[in-house]
Amino acid sequence: MEEPTTQDRPDTRTIAGALVAVVVLQLLFAFSYIAAFHDPSPHGVPLAVAAPTEEAAAQVAQGLEREGGDAVTTTVVADESAATARVRDREAAAALVVGPKKTDRLYIASAAGVSQAQAIEARIRDAESRQGRTLKVADLAPLPSADSRGTTPFYLVLVMAFGGYLGVTVLSLLASPQASRGRRALQRLGAMAAYAVISGVAVTLLARAAFGLVEGHVLAVAAATSLVGYATASVAITLQAVFGTAGTGLVILLFVVLGNPSSGGAVPYDFLPGWLGALGPFLVNGAGVDLVRNLVYFDGNALARPLAVLAVWALAGSIGAVSVSAARYRRSGDDPDLAPAVAAGL
């Protein structure tokens, strides 16, 4: 076997720079995960409040915010029906309905986050006991025994995001070095779309057959996870096309370092540090978790935002990949060094 020449080997400066970049990525990884998980605490948790009169509801809401500091943000609603609707529509994490005879009802949703539901119940129960009132609790979105912590949406999305950028990386390694037209980008996107559908269906069927999960929602969850896989893959194609090897690091930064801890799957958004909680719903991971969770546990409510977020990412990735490929194809006629990139669909 022919030994690589000195010119084929990266120089010391390049190797050092790559290792420094890896260390920086590790530090960002550690920072984001420790920031998210070391001490989750509620802040700005949306709580709906209803009472026999609007004035009474306002007084209760003010008292809860005063006692809880920034832990809760209350919204006064007209009646019990409006309060429970806000929970089911994912507009509130819980709803307190004040009764006329010192007996109140708290509506929670365990599927939105067990730790969140438990923390809200503990706070409200403590406040009620100090006032000599009785609290009854009802769970509007209970979790099945097969998913007692409600983490299935998180892990389904984690697997599909990982598969999306891993598939793109493998495809890059196997790409033909022969020059071709820029239409290779479309072929590559098509291959990743097929891959996303196949893997999404396979992962969903595995969850159903092996663990009894997503019962009654197999087709919807398969479609949702496939969309997550394609959105991840299309963005990965574009980042690797624009930045080369560094693009893989950016993919990891976007989908692992930022995406996973901010997704609301392991810790609800309202228990994350402000910047992570605000960012999460607009990344592929967070939108994917919300989409699967709302399909399975909230009767398909509140799907518009996560669907729109995933569609934007998928569209942006697709347009980016085709645009970069087209631009490089136009330039490849004058620069033969670009021919391998065009061949790879970049």
Question: Number of folded domains in the chain?
Answer: 2
Highest mean pLDDT pick, 15-19, 289-293, 337-341:
289-293
| Same domain? 98 vs 156 | no
| Same domain? 207 vs 305 | yes
Q: Does 2 map to a domain?
A: no
The string of pLDDT tens digits covering residues 210-225 is 999 999 999 999 999 9
| Same domain? 110 vs 200 | no
**Model confidence at 178, in pLDDT bands (50, 70, 90)?**
very low
Q: How far is CA 136 from CA 108, 121, 177, in A?
A: 11, 10, 67
Residues with Cβ within 8 Å of 111's Cβ and at least 6 positions away in sequence, in order, are 141, 142, 143, 150, 293, 296, 297, 298
| Same domain? 218 vs 301 | yes
**Model confidence at 303, in pLDDT bands (50, 70, 90)?**
very high
**Model confidence at 229, in pLDDT bands (50, 70, 90)?**
very high
Q: Does 230 map to a domain?
A: yes
| Same domain? 74 vs 206 | no
| Same domain? 235 vs 285 | yes
User: What is residue 68's predicted lDDT score, i.e. its pLDDT?
Assistant: 75
User: What is residue 199's predicted lDDT score, i.e. its pLDDT?
Assistant: 97
Range of the domain at 105: 45-142
Q: Which of 115, 142, 169 finishes a domain? A: 142
| Same domain? 323 vs 223 | yes
The answer, yes or no, to whether residue 270 has pLDDT greater than 90, is yes
Residues with Cβ within 8 Å of 35's Cβ and at least 6 positions away in sequence, in order, are 261, 273, 276
The string of pLDDT tens digits covering residues 107-157 is 999 999 999 999 999 999 998 888 889 999 999 999 999 999 999 999 999
Q: Does 80 map to a domain?
A: yes
User: What is residue 227's predicted lDDT score, i.e. its pLDDT?
Assistant: 98
CATH (domain of 87): 3.40.50
User: What is residue 5's predicted lDDT score, i.e. its pLDDT?
Assistant: 53
What burial class does residue 25 get, using C-beta atoms within 10 Å of its C-beta: 0-12 exposed, 13-18 middle, 19+ buried? middle
User: What is residue 67's predicted lDDT score, i.e. its pLDDT?
Assistant: 84
From the list 222, 234, 161, 158, the residue with the least C-alpha distance to 193 is 234
| Same domain? 228 vs 120 | no
Q: Does 195 map to a domain?
A: yes
Q: Over the chain, what is the mean pLDDT?
A: 88
Q: Does 10 map to a domain?
A: no
User: What is residue 8's predicted lDDT score, i.e. its pLDDT?
Assistant: 58
Q: Does 119 map to a domain?
A: yes
What is the arithmetic mean of pLDDT over 295-320?
Answer: 96
Q: Does 28 map to a domain?
A: no
Helices (H) and strands (E) in the chain, counts: 12, 5
**Model confidence at 100, in pLDDT bands (50, 70, 90)?**
confident
User: What is residue 336's predicted lDDT score, i.e. its pLDDT?
Assistant: 47
237 vs 128: CA distance, rounded Å: 54
The string of pLDDT tens digits covering residues 17-39 is 878 988 998 999 899 989 888 88
| Same domain? 292 vs 243 | yes
331 vs 185: CA distance, rounded Å: 15
Q: Which of 121, 142, 163 finishes a domain? A: 142
| Same domain? 187 vs 317 | yes
Q: Are 272 and 244 in contact (CB under 8 A)?
A: no
pTM: 0.88
| Same domain? 96 vs 191 | no
Q: Does 14 map to a domain?
A: no
Q: Which of 120, 142, 164 finishes a domain? A: 142
**Model confidence at 345, in pLDDT bands (50, 70, 90)?**
very low
The string of pLDDT tens digits covering residues 236-258 is 999 988 888 888 889 999 999 99
| Same domain? 96 vs 230 | no
The string of pLDDT tens digits covering residues 191-205 is 999 999 999 999 999
| Nearest-5° Cα angle at 253, 251 to 255 | 65
What is the arithmetic mean of pLDDT over 285-307?
Answer: 97
